[in-house]
Structure 1
Amino acid sequence: MSMCEHIRLMAQYNEWMNTRLYDAAMSLPADEVLADKGAFFGSLYGTLNHILLGDTIWLQRFATHPAAHSSLDPVRAMPRPFTYDERQGDFLALRERRAALDRVIVAWAGELTEADLGHVLKYNNIKGTPFSRSFSALVMHFFNHQTHHRGQATTLLSQAGVDPGSTDLLMLIPEA
């Protein structure tokens, strides 16, 4: 599997898992989704919101890549988040933004070429500190960050008595 094929698989996994998590969260009363459970971002909403903001921030950085992937045009038009915990409206609004962003991620993953991955991306973090890092490594970080925090969201759902079902990437890896 090439690096681009792996990225497309990760984009598909991201969309699949987010759909499962949001569907599972919809089975909870709104106050349970918002309740502070002592997680790193407080609540299930806070955790899912953080993933969305992190994805937005990284995609806006990726949108500066010289390849100028047209699939990232919607992200270029979004206001820039200034923190990793800016509230994105109620849970339904968060879910709608998540679904729209996941469609962008899948389209962007489909546009990437192996040549794109060799780029060194220069960007500033949210505090303004400049960095210069391998684009391919940053893309891997992007997907790893999602997976890490979705694990926290899955734990919060499990603690609330909701089983989101299988969460393994293995479910999407094609048979050889």
Structure 2
Amino acid sequence: MDARAHFLQLARYNVWATRRLLDAVANVSEADYRKDVGLFFKSIHGTLNHLLVGEHMLWYPRFARGVSPKVELNAEVEPDRDRLGQALKGGAANWLPLIEGWPAERFDGALNYTNMRGQVMSLPFAPTLAHVFNHGTHHRGQITAALTALGHASPELDLVYLLQEEASK
């Protein structure tokens, strides 16, 4: 599989998993949604905000425009849970056309940006992009564990289920 195809698959997975997770979270009471359940970003809400910050407000601009905005990783950038869900869905979908537009050689290059401490960074492009999708998977896993601990249904988010869905179409 070539790099573009691989990352397009990860981007499709990100859209699919984000939608499934948000569908499950929609059934959670406001109290459980905002409750500190011991996650790194405390609550389901805090963790979803972190996903918006990390994936869409930091990494997406770095990959799309070479800019590195200043925003705190634990910032509550969207207090409204419905708007937060829409922002996460829209942000996940934005990766697909971005990746589609990159030439094949881009994946073998470097990503240059300034980190949040003002340090100039140059990292290998493809592994850093893999980090973005892996990061989302990590935090979605935390949220599914929180859902289970709170007594709510947790969606199946394994990549293989997306692959099975795509194969059956």
TM-score with structure 1 setting the length: 0.86
Query: Partners in 2 of 1:153 and 1:46 — Cα distance?
Result: 10
CA contact under 8 A between 2:21 and 2:155: conserved in structure 1?
no
Structure 1: state its 5+ residue gaps. Answer: 66-75
Q: Is 1:86 paired with 2:75?
A: yes
CA contact under 8 A between 2:24 and 2:155: conserved in structure 1?
no
SS of the residue 1:123 aligns to:
strand
Q: Counterpart in 1 of 2:113? A: 123
Count of aligned pairs between the two proteins = 163
Q: Counterpart in 2 of 1:73? A: none
Q: Which amino acid aligns with 2:74?
A: D
CA contact under 8 A between 1:122 and 1:131: conserved in structure 2?
yes
CA contact under 8 A between 1:11 and 1:105: conserved in structure 2?
yes
TM-score with structure 2 setting the length: 0.89
Q: Which amino acid aligns with 1:167?
A: L
Q: Is 1:145 paired with 2:146?
A: no
1:127-166 Cα distance to aligned partner (Å, 9 max, x none) = 2122111111111111111111111011111112222332
Structure 2: state its 5+ residue gaps. Answer: none
1:32-90 Cα distance to aligned partner (Å, 9 max, x none) = 1011111110001111111111012001111235xxxxxxxxxx8xx935111211121
Q: Counterpart in 1 of 2:60? A: 59
Query: Partners in 1 of 2:70 and 2:85 — Cα distance?
Result: 17
Query: Partners in 1 of 2:155 and 2:140 — Cα distance?
Result: 13
SS of the residue 2:92 aligns to:
helix
Evaluate the alpha carbon distance shift between residue 31 and residue 59 of structure 1 in structure 2; reply closer, same or farther with a 3 A threshold.
same
Structure 1: which 4+ aligned runs deviate by more than 4 Å?
none
Q: Is 1:155 paired with 2:145?
A: yes
Q: Which amino acid aligns with 1:84?
A: L
Q: Counterpart in 2 of 1:110? A: 100
